[in-house]
Chains A and B, each alone.
Chain A
Amino acid sequence: MITLSCPWCGPRNVTEFAYGGESGARPDPATATPQPWRRYLYTNANPAGPVTETWLHRAGCRRYLVVERDTTTNEILAIRRPGGAPSTSARHATTGRATEQRP
């Protein structure tokens, strides 16, 4: 079980979090036509590698988080608050390597 480092609560088991799926850009609903709107609704990039997605710290602070994750290894590359700059990084290690991607 991986852990996610919540920017508010610190590292917690992934079972505390709810997965919200890939973050995709929503077309303007006022002007959207069916084709791009349904592409937004139904299509995922679904990459084998890094992806940006939304998670909710459901059993913790109840904040929505932006998570960058490698879908092949489940390595967490970065976690940040929605709209903000990266506030923490999970590229921590037990080896004492300097943690990267700190703000």
Chain B
Amino acid sequence: MTAATTPGAATRLDPQPGEVIDRTDRFAFTWNGVEHHAYRGDTITSALAAAGVRVFSRSFKYSRPRGILTASYLDPGCTVQVDDEPNVRGSHRRIAPGQAVTAQNVWPSLDRDVKMANQAVGRFLTAGFYYKTFIKPQRLWPTYQRVLQRFAAGGTAPDTAPDRLRYDKRYAHPDVLVAGGGPAGMKAAVAAAKHGAKVLLVEEEHELGGHLRYGDTGDLDRLALLRAEVAASDVEVLTDAVVAGRYDGNLFAVVERSAPGLTERLTKVRAGVAIVAAGLIERPYVVEGNDLPGVLLSTAVRRLINLHAVKPGNRAVVLTANPQGDAAIADLQRAGVQVWAEDARAGGDIVRILGRGGVVGVEVGDGRKVPCDLVVTATGWTATTSLLNMAGDRPVYEPRIARFLPSQLPDDVLVTGGLAGDDDLDELLDHARAAGELAAERATEPGSVRGAALPVRPIVDACLPALPLHDHPAMFRGPTHGFVDFSEDVGSKDLAAAVAEGYDSSELAKRYTTATMGPSQGKLETVNAVAAVAEATGITIGQAGTTTWRPPYAPITLGALAGRNFEPVRVSPMQPWHEVHGAAPLVAGAWIRPDHYGDPAAEVRAVRDEVGIIDVTPIGKLDLQGPDVPNLLELLYVNKWQKLDVGRVRYGVMCAEDGVVLDDGVTGRLGPDHYLMSTTSSGAAGIWEWIENWLQTERPGWDVHVTPVTTAYASMNLAGPRSRDVLAPLTDVDLSADAFGYMHVRTGTIAAVEDCVLWRIGFTGELSYELHVPAGYGLHVWETLLAAGADHGIRAFGVEAQRTLRLEKGHLIVGQDTDGLTKAGSAGLGGLVKLDKPNFVGKPELVWQQEVGVTSTLVALQPVDPTEVPPEASQIVVAGRTVGRITSSRRSPTLGRGVCLGQVPPDLAAPGTHVTVRLPDGRDIVAVVQQHLAHVDPEGARLRG
């Protein structure tokens, strides 16, 4: 017989007073391809349990059949695939019409799983068995590994991206956040709101109420009153949402699982004060057979009966140690289930649970075997201390109640409800009210500021009365060994074995057995695991201590964490023109710019022969004003700046304090106290901060005002022998060589646009004008220049052509021809570095570099074979060892041959030296070190024309 479905084993009961299903709304869905029906309000497993389904998964290691255990989000054996969504918590997720639900990780089917053979060999698969085998021969390990991967738990990730927005984020800034919408949380929230606080109340289940929801009619009456109080208050309520983490500064991650139209929404909550009222989780009992389908917690049967009107079995054995178990007995009896009660408080116990595919009986404490199809345990509680732990709490084990209690918290976190202690509902609600009022007081205190990292204090100082504690027997393991971690298939015997092997602390045993590492995140398992380790090592649970709870408390989808992608893209005002004219996009940090317009070599030739124009808007631009600008330039550049006349432009290089080249660019003097500095595109943001850092922290007395104007101007470079002819008719600036020479700056009007800045500089090596025009007119000026240049053969060129042009000219690119260790002395700067200046940033290291001699230097290289173009990063080798590298290379359209820049050691730097270059395809070629860095026009005649 297969146990996957036992028709008649469970059936739908008559309407229950607290049921959450809507019997007027019945719909179909499929489970492993078979159609079933559900009522609105059913969870996946409640609907299937009502149809007699008992097995929902196969276990990770031994492939044992697993059914409902907790009937909550934590249910370890009820994780299923829903359509393309893996790992759905079947005992929490409400089923929707038409959904296809399938069992995960079962091959070929849930009923017949070939891995079930593992059950037979389970005795050999003890904790950590894989560390002790598959060692030799090593060549077989990859094969073993493929077999092990077959056991990977979990569903199947989708292979396509969502076609619409399915995730979102929002922020919330409540005065008081209440985690947990049980009676204590509801009361605390209402009290805080009445005290004038803005309150957010978050409940993981689908409705407020906690355990009252599946309680008796008295509980339901109390619940109705509490719900009415919440409804009448200003409290914002989120249900089917969970406080998933507490972070520094009282920041909380709240995951909403049923936000309208979305799969998940992440709400980031900066709370004034948080009240943790997360309540208690019922702890499974460790005993042989405790994972069989048909073994349920008392809260699980109460949920099934009272919320979903599902009869969980016909004959039950109930082990009860507390009133919740007693209530489960009453519920079962009311539902027509025969009950055999074992009262732990009177010495009752369960020795082992019998059955293979499901429960068939129980051996009880006195040795009798009681036939049954349902086993219910009510043996104690686990305090959900995760959020408190994340806030700095170190929970302390209290043997009297057999659970952990909080011990220390910062002032912006309070705790109430079952986490704080036991008592009758009225007293619990009084405590919660006091907590709510205190939280409101602290959060709304004038002058209180959120987001501080507050120190923790002993909880006795928290100004809340301590709740009494009700004795509870310490029941962790029965007379036999059973499972501790259901999702990882780890038993108490495994933990004992791990301890015996030396893994004798909670952390080591946990890591060795993987107990608590699975999808239920240890919430169900940790305390039983600690108890097993404590038992094996002969210490108390208190001494063994709990493990560190790490966020998140509940899993969060990557989609919700990511939210929408708000990564900005920057484009120049000329981008519409580029797009129309077929520009190939180049992603350069935040910028998208034209790489080329189809034929970069032709673009190069246009610049050399006629005229070209390039959009250089991303170049960093800083407007510097004030009498101390020359001092600033003198401090930050390696060359001299005191004697820069108005109307002049100079090239400069900046170094960091370790002498490494940081950035380069030109700076022009527009007026007596007015300069425009340019930086590399990628350095724009950093150099602005670099300058401000020196001004604000080191030279606060200097009078310099820095304004970033990178995007205030649209920048374009008009380059080529006919650039003057194109520009002259469009500007009021006299462009004649005498009036506006090389390395000069002018301001004026271009294409009727005023306040433009014109630099006569030449990165490309040609006569060229760099034009900075107010950004709003960028496209106009660009198009006007192109129109005016049409007769001169003008052509737009992109970054690729510019790189080729500058390489032909031997101009370095910081970060390409230099690297993170290249000091100025190795950058081919020649006499630019003025070590005779009294002081500049980086000078000490550069002086010492000159004293000991450089280890590498930048040179121009040309392959002997003109057809060779060694790819950038090709290595320069001597006797098979790398001594340098090609930093830049292109085929030069101008020279019709390969041209390069490279870093070489000093003994290979002399002009005429032959070096060996190892190409990526493994060939070696010879290249010759050139006299000048410039391959084209080393004298600069074209620039100065």
Contact = CB atoms under 8 A, between A and B. Distances in A.
The answer on direct contact between A and B (beta carbons under 8 Å) is yes
26 contacts: A1-B247, A1-B451, A2-B249, A2-B452, A3-B450, A3-B451, A3-B452, A20-B693, A64-B693, A73-B453, A73-B455, A74-B453, A75-B453, A82-B696, A91-B452, A92-B448, A93-B411, A93-B448, A94-B411, A94-B442, A94-B445, A94-B449, A94-B452, A95-B445, A95-B448, A96-B447
B525 interface: no
A92 B692 contact: no
Contacts of B845: 37
Chain A interface size band reads: 35 or more
Nearest to A4: B451
B452 A76 contact: yes
Given A30-B838, A64-B697, A83-B700, A92 B449 contact: yes
Contacts, number: 97
Closest 6 CB pairs of A and B: A3-B451, A96-B445, A92-B449, A94-B448, A75-B453, A2-B249
A78 interface: no
A76 to B, nearest CB: 7
B848 interface: yes
B844 A92 contact: no
Given A11-B451, A30-B839, A64-B697, A94 B249 contact: no
Nearest to A62: B692
B657 interface: yes
B259 interface: no
A11 B450 contact: yes
A56 B454 contact: no
A63 B695 CA distance: 10
B448 A13 contact: no
A65 to B, nearest CB: 9
A18 to B, nearest CB: 7
A92 B700 contact: no
Contacts of A103: none
B658 interface: yes
A39 interface: no
B251 interface: yes
B622 to A, nearest CB: 13
A40 B494 CA distance: 54
B632 to A, nearest CB: 16
B443 interface: yes
Interface in B245-281: 247-249, 251, 272-273
Interface residues of B, number: 36
A18 B452 contact: no
Given A2-B249, A29-B843, A75-B452, A95 B696 contact: no
B84 interface: no
Nearest to A40: B657
Interface string B56-68: 0000000000000
A99 interface: yes
A37 to B, nearest CB: 5
B734 interface: no
Given A1-B247, A13-B451, A92-B452, A41 B411 contact: no
Given A74-B248, A94-B411, A94-B445, A2 B451 contact: yes
Contacts of A73: 453, 455
Contact of A54 (B251, B446, B697): B697
B412 interface: yes
B689 interface: yes
Interface in B438-471: 441-443, 445-455
Contacts of B693: 20, 54, 56, 64
A61 B845 CA distance: 33
B453 A58 contact: no
Contacts of B696: 63-64, 82
Contacts of A11: 449-451
Contacts of A62: 692
Contacts of B441: 96
Interface in A23-37: 29-30, 32, 34, 37
Given A32-B844, A94-B452, A94-B454, 13 more contacts: A1-B249, A1-B451, A3-B249, A62-B692, A63-B696, A64-B692, A64-B697, A82-B700, A91-B452, A93-B448, A93-B454, A95-B442, A96-B441
B697 A5 contact: no
A57 to B, nearest CB: 11
Interface string B522-545: 000000000000000000000000
Given A41-B657, A64-B692, A34 B452 contact: no
A101 to B, nearest CB: 13
Nearest to A10: B449
A96 B839 contact: no
Contact of A90 (B445, B452, B657): B452
A1 B657 contact: no
Contacts of B692: 56, 62, 64
Nearest to A96: B445
Contacts of B273: 94
Contacts of B251: 1
Interface string A51-95: 000101010001110000000011110000011000000111111
A81 B631 CA distance: 23
A41 B843 contact: no
A26 to B, nearest CB: 8
A32 to B, nearest CB: 5
A96 B838 contact: no
A62 B705 CA distance: 13
